[in-house]
Amino acid sequence: MGMNSESALTRRTFLGAVGATGAVCVTASLVGMPALAEAADAPAGNVDEAIVKDLGPGKIAMEKVKIDTPPKAENGALVRIPISVDHPMEKDNYIKTLAIYVDDNPKPLVGKFEFTPESGKSEVEMRIKMAKASQVRAVAISNKGALYGAYLKIEVAEGGCAG
């Protein structure tokens, strides 16, 4: 039972076919899910509306949340954004969600993180790309519905180089 070299399936052709099939499946699934794209696609001028849509209505207390990044980015292609929330993480009193927005992004929501009391802390660090100076907002909601937030205007030097 021999195979000639023209019809033999090599590891390279098999992996190539599997990779191509996977790419087609992922593309097809994303095309069929417009709601996912719409959730993070709010106009830049409507960040307040996006926050209400993502976390619910309510007054945001400008306390407990800390954005610990310099106000001037050294490199707009890689802006480090560490965020922490000084709030208990107890069974009946904890931060449930933390969302990060960049006002002047085409899609302002750049990150949304879920927590449980078992998380121990409500803090994250992410890196984002910023083409121009913008306000970065971090908004947290507790399991009881209280909203906490902070914002910081981050300057980005033209061309992505701070100097």
Q: Where are the domains of the chain?
A: 43-160
Mean pLDDT of the chain: 79
30: exposed, middle or buried (C-beta count within 10 Å: 0-12, 13-18, 19+)?
Answer: exposed
Give dist(CA 114, CA 156) in Å, integer: 29
Tell me: pLDDT of 69 over 90.
Answer: yes
User: What tens digit of pLDDT does each residue of 102-149 get?
Assistant: 999 888 999 999 999 999 999 999 999 998 999 999 999 999 999 999
Pick the CATH number of 43-160 from 3.40.1010.10, 2.60.40.2470, 3.40.50.300, 2.30.30.100: 2.60.40.2470
E strand spans, the chain:
60-61, 65-67, 72-73, 79-85, 95-102, 109-114, 122-128, 134-142, 147-156
Q: What is the mean pLDDT of residues 137-163?
A: 86
